[in-house]
Chain A
Amino acid sequence: MAKSMNLNAAAGLKGMLKDGFKTYDGLYGAVFRNIEAAKAIAGMVRTSLGPNGMNKLVVNHLEKIIVTSDCASILNELEVQHPAAKLLVLAAQMQDNEFGDQTNFVVSFAGELLKLAEELLKNGLHTAEVVTGYQRAYQKTMEILPTLVVRSIDNIRDAEELKTGIRSVLATKQFGYEDILSDLVVQATLTTLSPTAKVPKLNIDSVRIAKLKGGSLDQSNVIKGMVILRDAEGLIKRAENAKVAVFGCGIEAAATEAKGTVLLKSAEELLNYNKSEERKMEEVIESIAATGVKVVIANGSISEMAQHFLDKFEIMVVKIQSKFDLRRICGAVRATAAVRLGPPTPEEIGECSLVEVREIGGRKVTVFNQVLDEDTTVATIAVRASTENVLNDVERALDDGIHSVKTLFHDGRLLAGAGAVELELARQLKAYAEEDKGLDQYAIRKFAEAFEVVPRTLAENSGADATSTIHALNTAHLAEGGKNIGFNVEDSVPFDAAAAHVYDLYATKFNALRLAVDAAITVLKVDQIVMAKPAGGPKPRSGAQDPDM
């Protein structure tokens, strides 16, 4: 029935909107509902926090199976629908985009803030008071945080220092392999740095990861240069100290943009036509060979005729489909991609100390290796692992590691990890709340409590008794010189995180805090939700159920 004009006053806003709209408002209708959703999502990812965090098996809409403990990946695959939960997911995604790490912290902390806010609201505090309290606590946190820096990495070219910085980042993703992985990451990133630049810049794009199934993780290595996951085209499979020409087009006879038609008047012409084609191609290839080029890289298709002549002149041919890979390989061999087929100019020609096809794990790959100490801009981490899933998970961990190195380049400050920073922030904020006389103190105290979610979760995930652990940790922090005490996930006891070289990155933590607080406050501030009727799309499947579920 179309909506009547007789306004149903009891229906409120809904009475005025188009059919299918849903509205929720007020504390119970909107705020608590939102908090509930945020809590649900935070509770879900929380078990994956830290080195001992559990993995999740996610089957996404394409029935692809993903096993990971990386929060951003879990959330990406989940397709969260609830708007408030989505705000948390968006915050986590932003953290992932900019820093790659600490995404779980964003969601867990925002969830905890909301959970504690719910208690305050139920006790009768106004949302505005909670929000101002949280904001003040956040500002105070930002004041305290710089004072908690325990170490700073100044010489970013020092591999050992970098390694200590990112070890803990990798430990949370692939516990037990952090030494191998941090080694790979540091080696690869340092390779890409320009040795001359005073303030080296790291281009994330120039550190590649090649996933090779088979073998085990400790067989992984860093290759200076590129690894292309395909065979070379022709007969030549190896070239040393070779000149490399890169073509941004295919290696075939040039075609006109306008429609071209071959007009033949006699059989003779037909025979001659093919000959002229051959001759032309031979000329071109010969002229390329004349420049001394031993390896040709093409971005498009390679005609059979061209292949024939390339083999004849003993030129190795590698086809690269992706434009981006082409650009990277240009960086690796220091060549410039030519847009037209023809002999390249000396400036356009690059060099590579070794190009060869190797067979790794039953797969043929072409390796561009700059063995010599040459200034190359690309490094590839060849990852070996038993299954596709492990490979993908290691890849995500490496990505986070590379991002962290980049962050360290900008800001080398480190905080004590293992929940130590959180505990110290909680302690100082509680003291700050004590000083406050107004209503804000309740929210500030809750904000401080929210920090305990990190050590508590670490303890829970390690199988320790959370309550007594938190107590022990808090006591340790009250003592003199106890501000770096964190939770040792291996022995389930308190330990000095800074002394044990367990660090968190300052910049990452800073941004994660900001996003988490932002998301939590936004959720709190919303007092009304207006939802349109979901538009279009297929109806959700019903009936055909997963047999296991």
Chain B
Amino acid sequence: MATRETNLINPNAEIVASSQCLMVNVAAARGLQSVLKSNLGPRGTLKMLVGGAGQIKITKDGNVLLHEMQIQHPTAMMIARAATAMDDEVGDGTTTAVLFIGELLKQAERFTSEGLHPRLITEGFEAARDMTLEFLDAFKVPQPKIFHDRETLVNVARSSLRSKLSQDVADKMAEAVVDCVLSIAVEGEPIDLHMVEIMEMQHRQASESTFIKGLVLDHGARHPDMPTSLENCHILTCNVSMEYEKTEISSGFYYSSAEQREKLVESERKFTDEKVKQVIDFKRRVCQAGDNKTFVVINQKGIDPMSLDMLAKEGIMALRRAKRRNMERLALACGGTAVNSFDDVEPSVLGYAGRVREETLGEEKFTFVEDVQQGKSCTLLLRGPNKHTIDQLKDAARDGLRAVKNAIEDAALVPGAGAFEVAAYRMLQRRKSAVTGRARLGVEAFAQALLTIPKTLAENSGLDVQESVIKVEEEQERDEQPVGLDLTTGETFLPAAEGIWDSPSVKKQIISLSTVLATQLLLVDEVMKAGKAMGKPAQDMMDEE
């Protein structure tokens, strides 16, 4: 590498400058694009990630891939970070964003290699972006009543999930995901997806994952004599220690005979026993004999064996050490409030569940709190025969939930299956003439880059790329309908009629974020990396070991 001024300042620094720098950036973006390309869409293939300890992950979710791959090249890392940040924001579209950025740079490179200044291209990009966003607003289909339209929501969830899971599992999950969101959502209020507990159980098969109207806790009662299944349950959620607590200061007993010691042992227990008795009294008050009511205590703190024994004798099911977040959810799901003391408890603090039952899976226990009264919190129960299946489901479930949430909050949808991209491409080609000067080339590049999405979809389905895209384009020209590409047959169809929907906010994010990032990368003319100040680089030391 040629010595440059900066090297005088820090001889260890590594520098890539001017045209070479642009090449590196473009190559990195395209490299990343080619990696993720095969994973796009419902017919994309899977990638297997093997972690440091040999753990297996199988996925085609772009977000997961970028997180797990530990990319080190600075440019690629920047794109990966931006794309995953988008996932945090809207929950989907990671792969699309990476592909789009790569394609934007690839298109731009065509012109820069002919000597066009990157600045002019970026101007074109920005103009094209504004036009596309404007077009998106006009193109999207408003769905003012989507909150009550379960079928459409299921379609939305299905479109999102099918690109991450196999078809039959995706279809089952779509239903479950929509049930979850509808159960916690209140019309007109923002949706808090944290209120959906995602619980995993490793058994049976992935397609048996279900929505549970209530909560599933990943622990069970710790006493053999406690009931394992109850109906018509009062639920008492509390945060009271029902075990012996050590004093904070150092303390001890002095005694000089066994009788005295027995008394001390007794007095020690008394404090805890009192609390347990309060619970038992309370239970007797609310559960009269013959009214078929049962009582469940869910405690955030501990309950010691003796207290458990007392509760078990009363037929109370008691769970100890519940998770904090579950306490919150329990109150939302079953009603009632969590109490911090058993003094003067009123029946109004109790929640209600139609059924509480325990299920044992090998060593692990799960408690199902079902048929709850209020249901402002619910559980998505994921099942799968092995860890990697469950992980895949979990990542997909998150995205599915987000997709439904977006649809409700946007109250609008965009026809999927490449329909929007092709339509936007046609729009840009038409309006290109309005842009003056060399920036027009940027618009041209942008329009071409948009087509990468339908092209990749076609490619992954084993279709003829050019033919498919042209077919869609012609069809759109003919009757001005949002026509997309059917990936199973290779023919054109109306995605809206088939229920293939994308979220406008995801599309919007992809377009604006990709443009910004591509613009930034194009305008970089020098990359500097500071040299390691101390001794040898880490890798060398490892090799000598």
Contact = CB atoms under 8 A, between A and B. Distances in A.
Interface of A: 1-7, 9, 12-13, 15-19, 21, 30, 81, 83-84, 86-87, 90-91, 93-94, 97-98, 126-128, 248, 253-265, 269, 272-273, 276-277, 279-280, 327, 330, 336-337, 339-340, 514-515, 518, 522, 525-536
Nearest to B23: A7
Interface stretch (B47-55, B213-221, B434-442, B471-479): B47-55
B31 A94 contact: no
Interface residues of B, number: 71
Contacts of B462: 126, 128
B43 interface: yes
B51 A532 contact: yes
Secondary structure of the A contact surface, majority rule:
mixed
Interface of B: 14, 16, 24, 27-28, 31-32, 34-35, 38, 43, 45-54, 56, 58, 68-76, 203-205, 224-225, 244, 246-247, 251-259, 261-262, 264-265, 268, 305-306, 309, 362, 385-388, 461-462, 527, 529, 532, 537-540
A19 B43 CA distance: 31
B305 A534 contact: no
Given A86-B56, A257-B244, A280-B262, 5 more contacts: A83-B54, A126-B462, A258-B247, A260-B261, A337-B224
Given A16-B71, A522-B46, A336 B247 contact: no
Contacts of A330: 224
Contacts of B540: 1
A127 B27 contact: no
21 contacts: A2-B532, A5-B73, A7-B24, A12-B35, A87-B386, A91-B385, A98-B204, A256-B265, A259-B251, A259-B253, A260-B253, A277-B258, A280-B258, A336-B225, A522-B46, A522-B58, A526-B47, A527-B46, A528-B35, A528-B47, A530-B50
Report the 9 A-B pairs with minimum CB-CB distance, sorted nearest first. Answer: A535-B52, A259-B252, A263-B254, A280-B258, A16-B73, A531-B50, A276-B258, A527-B45, A276-B257
Nearest to A533: B52
B52 A534 contact: yes
B28 A532 contact: no
Contact of A94 (B56, B385, B537): B385
Contacts of A528: 35, 38, 45, 47-48
B203 A98 contact: yes
Nearest to A80: B54
A256 B262 CA distance: 8
Contact of B252 (A16, A260, A535): A260
Contacts of A269: 256
B526 to A, nearest CB: 11
Contacts, number: 197
A530 B264 contact: no
A256 B258 contact: no
Given A126-B462, A255-B265, A1 B537 contact: yes
A279 B14 contact: no
A126 to B, nearest CB: 6
B72 A18 contact: yes
A243 B537 CA distance: 75
Contacts of B31: 7, 9, 12-13, 15-16
A263 B256 contact: yes
A442 to B, nearest CB: 16
Give the interface centre of A15, A83, A531 by most chain B CB atoms within 10 Å.
Answer: A83
B58 A526 contact: yes
A272 B246 contact: no
Give the interface centre of A15, A257, A531 by most chain B CB atoms within 10 Å.
Answer: A257
Nearest to A30: B48
Nearest to A248: B305
A158 B362 CA distance: 28
Contacts of B14: 4-5
Contacts of B527: 5
